[in-house]
């Protein structure tokens, strides 16, 4: 090692100095806050002829460098005074040809540097010797300094991307803190790989210091969030500490006071110690594997930071030592990546368990709803059956009952003839038969209803000598053909036939049923017609007839359209139009009072 050097130091703004000194020499210790030039003259001892190839290994040198051996320039890094270059970021190896060395007297080794304040300029103790022994040491130091930075950048980038993706999924702050701190760490540790930054000093130094400060503070918030201690006071302390760091960094690099950055680094320890203490307490109390892993992982960067601060940053001899924080940070980031994935996996399992629990609750609720629906359907069926019984009772009461009441009235008076009594009895029997026929299943087939009615009325019509022409076409299924609707249609048709028998004096009647397709302004319908060749009637008779009013009311109750056309001497035609497409039901038809006991049905004229 070449410990002694004769130095010529020219600080800007201060008196020059020259003399012997012992290496390492840190420019910031000798001339804090000042830029300047330095020229170190060392002596390489005589080297016998035939010795293996030799070289000089510089652990640290900077910031811009020119190296001369025997008065010849052998190496340089950047241009002297150009602040964009910083040779102090990596160790240097300079092979020295044997022709430049003397075997009888020392060979002068002159190192010229320009240094900037706060940039670790100066010269660490160089080593001269055989390449076989020094080159491996140089490679080892280079790997520790440079490839450790590569490892930190890669691990931060990978873990930061993972944390950012997880934060986008569930917006949990713990992932967001690490995703934010990763880019600042990448910039700071990646600076070691960038010998020529895009901007000069001291602005670049201030940006790197700020990146390191916010990176470490965000890591502290990440650790606090992992143990559930990220409340309002922590957020307020974070911003207050960040403001203090900005002020200190501005003074260190803006005002040229390097010791302020040492103070700024020292101020980063209290929040780190606080977070480590809380994570340790959380690990002891909970004994969870993640909490214990976080405690152990946090000890690595905290211990490395203490070592770098005490052994490298403060003493003058630290000029040639390698910081261990980058390597410790890489290990910490890898452990944190495992913690993040483990935490996410635990949360995913918890969410899956919650989802399964919710699914089971939903299925249980569906079963409860199905039971309630079945009970409701049962109640609805019971209610429908009750309504049907009430309808049947009402129909029997209004039909058969009214006829029987009229019959009893005639018997009570004792003046009715046998024929009148028989007519009332037949009318009551017809009402009963219609009520029974209406309850028979017809599956929407109106033709079946007409066939049944024909079977009931054919004997009576044949007994009067009236010829009946039945013209019933094939009819489509009528989905709305309920028992109530069947009964109302039967009553309308029976009323029409009764009017033909009693008042029309007809010799023939035509009964037709057909399907009428949809017209421009009318839906498709089923049309029933009863037309006779009797005496007909005048319009005033249609207006005042109670029987016709009952027929219209019954047609309205089932959503049908009733038309009656008649003229004196030209017969009568009763037309009923039933909609094929279901329509909103018409208001319920009020109970029609029973007709006078003198006749089985109210006359239409």
Q: What DSSP line would sit under 327-365, residue for residue?
A: HHHHHHHHHHHHHHHHHHHHHHHHHHHHHHHHHHHHHHH
Cα angle vertex 75, ends 52, 151, to 5°? 90
- Among 92, 125, 158, residue at a domain's last position: 125
The dihedral region occupied by 118, where left means phi > 0, alpha psi between -120 and 50, and beta the remainder, is: left
Q: Which of 46, 44, 37 is nearest to 64 (CA)?
A: 37
- Among 297, 331, 357, residue at a domain's last position: 357
Do 449 and 517 belong together in one domain? yes
Q: What is the pLDDT of residue 543?
A: 52
> Residue 579: exposed, middle, or buried by beta-carbon count in 10 A (0-12, 13-18, 19+)?
middle
Give the separation between CA 227 and CA 222, rounded to whole angstroms.
Answer: 9
Do 118 and 173 belong together in one domain? no
Do 106 and 240 belong together in one domain? no
Instruction: Please give the model's pTM, rounded to 2 decimal places.
Output: 0.58
Is there a domain that residue 206 lies in? yes
Q: What is the pLDDT of residue 605?
A: 26
For the chain, residues with pLDDT lower than 50 are 583-605
Is there a domain that residue 100 lies in? yes
Do 23 and 44 belong together in one domain? yes
Is there a domain that residue 9 lies in? yes
Q: What is the pLDDT of residue 588?
A: 45
Do 186 and 312 belong together in one domain? yes
Do 237 and 349 belong together in one domain? yes
- CATH number, position 143: 1.20.1070
Give the separation between CA 235 and CA 255, rounded to whole angstroms.
Answer: 29
Q: What is the pLDDT of residue 537?
A: 79
Do 272 and 342 belong together in one domain? yes
Could you tell me which residues come within 8 angstroms of residue 130 by beta carbon, excluding any fewer than 6 positions away? Answer: 51, 52, 53, 54
- CATH number, position 93: 2.60.120.260
Residue 157's domain comprises 138-357
Pairing of strands 508-516, 467-472: parallel
DSSP 556: H
Do 168 and 105 belong together in one domain? no
Is there a domain that residue 592 lies in? no
Q: Is 85 helix (H, G, I), strand (E, B) or coil?
A: coil
Do 147 and 269 belong together in one domain? yes
Do 218 and 349 belong together in one domain? yes
Q: What is the pLDDT of residue 463?
A: 76
Q: Which of 8, 138, 116 is nearest to 64 (CA)?
A: 116
Which residues are registered as beta bridge partners of 75? 67
- In the chain, the N- to C-terminal Cα span, in Å, equals 141
Q: What is the pLDDT of residue 564?
A: 87
Is there a domain that residue 41 lies in? yes
Q: What DSSP line would sit under 113-181, residue for residue?
A: EEE-TTS--EE---EEEEHHHHHHHHHHHHIIIIIHHHHHHHHHHHHHHHHHHHHHHH--HHHHHHHHH
Is there a domain that residue 412 lies in? no
| Domain count for the chain | 3
Give the separation between CA 117 and CA 27, rounded to whole angstroms.
Answer: 8
Do 482 and 573 belong together in one domain? yes
Q: Calculate the alpha carbon distances from 336 to 347, 379, 451 in Å.
A: 16, 63, 89
Is there a domain that residue 70 lies in? yes
Contact 327, 153 (CB under 8 A): no
Do 449 and 341 belong together in one domain? no
Is there a domain that residue 17 lies in? yes
């Amino acid at each position: 090692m070449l410990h002694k050097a004769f130095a010529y130091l020219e600080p800007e703004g201060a008196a020059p100095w020259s003399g012997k000194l012992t290496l390492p020499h840190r420019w910031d210790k000798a001339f804090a806050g000042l830029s300047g030039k330095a020229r170190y003259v060392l002596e390489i001892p005589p080297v016998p002829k035939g010795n293996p190839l030799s070289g000089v290994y510089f652990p640290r040198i900077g910031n811009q460098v020119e190296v001369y051996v025997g008065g010849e320039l052998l190496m340089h890094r950047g241009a002297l005074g150009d602040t964009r270059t910083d040779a102090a970021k990596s160790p240097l190896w300079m092979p020295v040809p044997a022709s430049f060395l003397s075997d009888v007297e020392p060979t002068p080794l002159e190192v010229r540097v320009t240094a900037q304040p706060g940039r670790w300029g100066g010269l660490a103790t160089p080593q001269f010797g055989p390449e076989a022994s020094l080159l491996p040491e140089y490679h080892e130091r280079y790997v520790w300094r440079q490839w450790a930075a590569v490892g930190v950048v890669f691990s931060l980038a990978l873990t930061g991307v993972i944390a950012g993706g997880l934060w986008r999924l569930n917006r949990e702050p713990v992932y967001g803190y690490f995703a934010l701190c990763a880019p600042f760490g990448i910039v700071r540790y990646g600076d070691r790989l960038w010998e020529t930054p895009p901007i000069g000093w001291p602005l670049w130094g201030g940006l790197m210091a700020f990146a390191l400060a916010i990176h470490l503070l965000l890591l502290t918030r990440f650790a606090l969030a992992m143990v559930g201690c990220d409340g309002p006071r922590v957020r307020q302390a974070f911003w207050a500490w960040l403001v203090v760091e900005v002020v200190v960094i501005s003074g260190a690099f803006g005002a040229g006071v390097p010791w302020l950055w040492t103070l700024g680094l020292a101020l980063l320890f209290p929040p780190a110690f606080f977070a480590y203490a809380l994570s340790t307490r959380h690990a002891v109390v909970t004994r969870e594997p993640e909490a214990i892993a976080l405690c152990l992982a946090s000890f690595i960067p905290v211990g490395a930071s203490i070592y770098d601060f005490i052994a490298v940053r403060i003493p003058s001899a630290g000029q040639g030592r390698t910081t261990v924080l980058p390597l410790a940070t890489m290990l910490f980031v890898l452990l944190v990546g495992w913690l993040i994935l483990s935490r996410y996996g635990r949360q995913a399992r918890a969410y899956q368990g919650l989802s399964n629990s919710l699914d089971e609750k939903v299925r249980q609720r569906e079963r409860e709803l199905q039971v309630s629906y079945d009970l409701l359907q049962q109640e609805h069926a019971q209610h429908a059956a009750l309504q049907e019984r009430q309808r049947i009772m009402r129909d029997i009461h209004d039909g058969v009952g009214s006829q029987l009441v009229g019959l009893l009235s005639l018997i009570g008076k004792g003046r009715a003839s046998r024929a009148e009594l028989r007519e009332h009895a037949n009318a009551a029997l017809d009402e009963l038969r219609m009520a029974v026929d209406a309850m028979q299943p017809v599956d929407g087939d109106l033709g079946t209803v007409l066939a049944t009615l024909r079977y009931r009325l054919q004997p009576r019509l044949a007994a009067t000598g009236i010829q009946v022409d039945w013209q019933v076409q094939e009819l489509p299924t009528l989905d709305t053909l309920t028992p109530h609707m069947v009964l109302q249609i039967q009553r309308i048709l029976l009323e029409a036939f009764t009017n033909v028998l009693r008042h029309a004096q007809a010799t023939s009647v035509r009964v037709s049923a057909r399907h009428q397709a949809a017209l421009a302004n009318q839906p498709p319908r089923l049309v029933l017609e009863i037309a006779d060749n009797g005496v007909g009637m005048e319009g005033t008779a249609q207006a005042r007839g109670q029987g016709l009013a009952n027929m219209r009311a019954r047609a309205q109750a089932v959503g049908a359209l009733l038309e009656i056309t008649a003229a004196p001497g030209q017969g009568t035609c009763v037309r009923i139009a039933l909609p094929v497409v279901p329509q909103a039901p018409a208001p319920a038809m009020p109970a029609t009072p029973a007709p006078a006991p003198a006749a089985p049905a109210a006359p239409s004229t």
